[in-house]
Structures are given as structure tokens and as C-alpha cells.
């Protein structure tokens, strides 16, 4: 066997081993780690490898949920943080969270049934403050503000959902959008901050939303600091 053949064989073996490791290390309903969760539904999986995972006792995972590899899922500021209620994170049934995504909750993040996301989506109810000029911003915390994502919604690749965001049912959020406020049921939103460009109107179907020039800014348009990392 030549050097190239040996390298090819080694590559195939490493690839097969890595895939086998992924299957074994994925967290499923019968995994020991799944027992730490407040609830971990049948048919669900948190794929290997996981970037960060703590506060499982405050997290509900529904049935047939898939959370992609290299994702983060946490409840609380740090491992061992004792919270005063549960669940802090709730994920409904048949949810798909894309690879490399992060869900960080200090108070309440609720994701409804049948929500799908692209890769590298970030959802958080926590933020850093900036009021004290003598304290590094990383050590300042703003009050947490609950976040919800309604059933049947889609969050495109790289979407960021910040504290206080309330996304309705069957909402499509375009890739790279930053959601800071309220998006009602059955709409399409894009941009930073996310703004509605289409809505479902009974009897008319999906109609384009034209905002009048010079409208006063809405609360959701106000600049927001980056979410808790």
C-alpha cells in the first residue's frame, strides 16, 4: 500500500470513528445526562459535540427535538446557579435547532412546538449593563426580560433574538436579523432591528407591508447591546 492509499484509509477510519463517537455521545432520552433535565422528551437528541450545557434541571426539552452539534444550552449565569423557578428554558415538541446555535436564559426563554432554526442562531433573555463607568461591562448585568418564540416559526441562519423579544406563531425571520421587540403572528420580518415586510391578511393572503416615511421610531427600533455570551 502506497503512502496516499494509507492516508486515504486512515482518513476513512478517522471519519468512521468520529461518526461513531458522535452517535454514542449524543444525548438522548436514555442517556445518563438526560436524567439531569427537568424534562427530556422521547425521540429527542442533543447532538455531539456540545459547546456548553448547564442548568439542566431548569430546562424542559419536548419530544422529537433535535439540537444540532456545537450548540450551547444553559439556564442560569453559571453551573450551579440556583434559580427560583422552573422551567427557565422550555422547548416544545418537534423543534429543530441548527448547528452552532445558543440558547442562554437567566429567567425565561420559551420556544413553541415545531419551531425550526438555521445554523448559528442565538436566543437570550439576558444582557449586560453599561451604566457604571468604573465597572467592566462584562461584570454588569441588566435585568432579564422573558423571550418567546411562537409555534411553527422559522428563524433564519444567524438570527439573534434579544431580551424582551416576543415572536408570534408562524413567523418567518430572515437570515441575520436581530429581533428586539414584538413580531405578531403570521408575518415575515427581516433586518436589524427586525421589521415586518409581509403579513397574512384574512381574505387577502400575504400582503407587503409599506411603512410610511418619517414614522416615529418604535420601541423595538431602539439600539440594543449585544446579548449575554
**Coil, helix or strand at residue 34:** helix
Closest to 141 in 3D by CA, of 182, 190, 194, 81: 81
C-alpha atoms less than 13 angstroms from C-alpha of 43 in its C-beta half-sphere: 9
Closest to 111 in 3D by CA, of 153, 157, 56: 153
CB of 64 closer than 8 Å to CB of 85: no
- Catalytic, 128? Answer yes
Q: Which residue among 38, 81, 119, 128 is the active-site one?
A: 128
- Please tell me the distance from the alpha carbon of residue 130 to that of residue 138, in angstroms, as a whole number: 9
- Catalytic residue ranges: 128
Amino acid at each position: 500500500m502506497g503512502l496516499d492509499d494509507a492516508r486515504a484509509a486512515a482518513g476513512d477510519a478517522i471519519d468512521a470513528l468520529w461518526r461513531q463517537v458522535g452517535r454514542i455521545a449524543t444525548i438522548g432520552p436514555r442517556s445518563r445526562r438526560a436524567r439531569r433535565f427537568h424534562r427530556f422528551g422521547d425521540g429527542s437528541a442533543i447532538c455531539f459535540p456540545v459547546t456548553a450545557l448547564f442548568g439542566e434541571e431548569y430546562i424542559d426539552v419536548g419530544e422529537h427535538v433535535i439540537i444540532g452539534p456545537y450548540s450551547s444550552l444553559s439556564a442560569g449565569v453559571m453551573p450551579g446557579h440556583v434559580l427560583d423557578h422552573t422551567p427557565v428554558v422550555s422547548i416544545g415538541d418537534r423543534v429543530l435547532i441548527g448547528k452552532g446555535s445558543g440558547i442562554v436564559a437567566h429567567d425565561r426563554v420559551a420556544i413553541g412546538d415545531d419551531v425550526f432554526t438555521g445554523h448559528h442562531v442565538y436566543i437570550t433573555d439576558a444582557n449586560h449593563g453599561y451604566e457604571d463607568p468604573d465597572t467592566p461591562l462584562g461584570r454588569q448585568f441588566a435585568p432579564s426580560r422573558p423571550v418567546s418564540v411562537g409555534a411553527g416559526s422559522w428563524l433564519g441562519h444567524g438570527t439573534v433574538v434579544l431580551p424582551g423579544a416576543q415572536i408570534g406563531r408562524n413567523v418567518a425571520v430572515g437570515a441575520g436579523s436581530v429581533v428586539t421587540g414584538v413580531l405578531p403572528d403570521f408575518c415575515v420580518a427581516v433586518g436589524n432591528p427586525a421589521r415586518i415586510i409581509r403579513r397574512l391578511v384574512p381574505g387577502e393572503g400575504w400582503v407587503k407591508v409599506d411603512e410610511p416615511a418619517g414614522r416615529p421610531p418604535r420601541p423595538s427600533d431602539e439600539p440594543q447591546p449585544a446579548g449575554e455570551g
